[in-house]
Amino acid sequence: MNPEDGKSLILNALVLLLLLSFLAWKYLRTGEIRRILRHALIWLGIFLAVTIAHSYRFELGQIRDRVLANLLPGRSFKKETGAMSFQLSPDGHFYIQARVNGVEVRFLADTGASDIVLSPEAGKNIGFNPDKLSYSRIYNTANGMGRGASIVLKEIKIGDFCLNNISAAVNGSPMSISLMGMSFFNRLKSYRVKDGILTIYYDP
C-alpha cells in the first residue's frame, strides 16, 4: 500500500465513523442496538488504527528509533546508506555505542580529544591486561596531565560501519566512560552537529 492509498482509506474510514456516530445519536434508542453499534465502532477503530500504523510504518519506525536513542544514549537512529545519527543525551553529550573487537563499549563523542581513549575497565573487557601495558603517552586533560598506553584495535563496528586496525589508548587512571576522539572522526567522510543531532558520514 502506498501512502496515497493509505490516506484515502483513512479518510473513508473517518467519514464512515462520523456517519455511524451521527446515525447512532439521532435514530437509535434501544440498548441492544446501541450495544451492537458500540462493538461495530470498536472494530472500526481497530481497523483504523491498523491502517494508520501500516500506512505510516516507516515514519513510526523513525519515531521509535529516535525515542529509543533518547532513552538509551549511544544508540543510533535515522540510519541511511552511508550515514547514522545520534541524539543529544539529556546530560548535553553525544554517546556512541560500538562493538570493539566484538565487545560492547559505550563512548562519549569528544572532538576535543585527539585519540580514542578506553577506560581501564573497557580495555580489560576487550582483552588488554592493564598491568602489562606501558603508559608512556602523555595527555593534557581538563583534570591535568594524564598517561595512556598505546594499543591498536582490530575492529570498531557501529551499525554497518566498520573500521579496522585503528590506533587508540588505554587510560592509566580510572574513567567513567571511554572517549571517541579525533582519530575516529578523521577516518569518517565527514560529520555534522545540528539541532541536537550528531550525524556521521562514511563509505558504506
**Residues 187-199: what's their mean pLDDT?**
92
CATH no. for 74-201: 2.40.70.10
180 pLDDT band, cuts 50/70/90, is: very high
In the structure, what pLDDT confidence band is assigned to residue 204 with cuts at 50, 70 and 90?
confident
58-90 pLDDT tens trace: 454 555 555 554 555 556 666 678 999 998 888
In sequence order, the β-bridge partners of residue 150 are 169
Q: Tell me: the pLDDT tens digits for 39-53?
A: 666 776 676 666 665
Beta strands in 103-196 (DSSP E): 103-109, 117-118, 137-141, 144-158, 161-171, 178-180, 190-194
Overall pTM > 0.85:
no
CA distances to 60, 70, 81, 85, 134 from 77, in Å? 12, 10, 12, 5, 38
Q: What are the boundaries of each domain within the chain?
A: 3-55, 74-201
